[in-house]
A = this chain, B = another copy of it.
Amino acid sequence: MSIKKKITELNRLSVEKFKETEKIPLIVVLDNVRSLHNVGSVFRTADAFLVEGVYLCGITSVPPNAEIHKSALGAEFSVDWRYFEDACEAVSDLKCAGYTVFAVEQVENSIKLPDLQLEKGRKYAVVLGNEVKGVQQAVVDMCDASVEIPQFGTKHSLNVSIAGGVVIWEVFRKITAI
Residue A114 is within 8 A (CB to CB) of chain B in the complex: yes
Q: Report whether A154 and B2 are in contact in the complex, using a CB–CB cutoff of 8 Å.
A: no
Q: Given A44-B159, A47-B154, A2–B109 Cβ distance below 8 Å? A: yes
Q: Report whether A134 and B4 are in contact in the complex, using a CB–CB cutoff of 8 Å.
A: yes
Residue A81 is within 8 A (CB to CB) of chain B in the complex: no
For chain A, the bracket of interface size reads: 35 or more
Q: Report whether B45 and A162 are in contact in the complex, using a CB–CB cutoff of 8 Å.
A: yes
List, in ascending order, chain B residues with CB within 8 A of A151's CB. Answer: 10, 48-49
Residue A165 is within 8 A (CB to CB) of chain B in the complex: yes
From 124 to 156 in chain A, residues with beta carbon under 8 angstroms from any chain B beta carbon are 134-135, 137, 140-141, 143, 145-146, 149, 151-156
Residue A58 is within 8 A (CB to CB) of chain B in the complex: no
* Interface pairs (6), CB distance under 8 Å: A2-B109, A2-B146, A7-B156, A12-B156, A48-B158, A75-B154
